[in-house]
Amino acid sequence: MKYIVFPHHVKVENKKIKTYGIIAINKIIPIKVIKDVSTDYEAIRKFVKGLNEDKVELVHLEDMLEDYYYDNVWVIIT
Q: Is pLDDT of 73 > 80?
A: no
pLDDT digits (tens, 9 = 90+) for 3-29: 999 999 999 899 999 999 999 999 999
Q: Is pLDDT of 76 > 70?
A: no
Backbone angles phi, psi at 28, to 5 degrees: -120, 10
Q: Are the C-beta atoms of 30 and 56 separated by less than 8 Å? A: no
Distance CA 6, CA 23 (A): 7
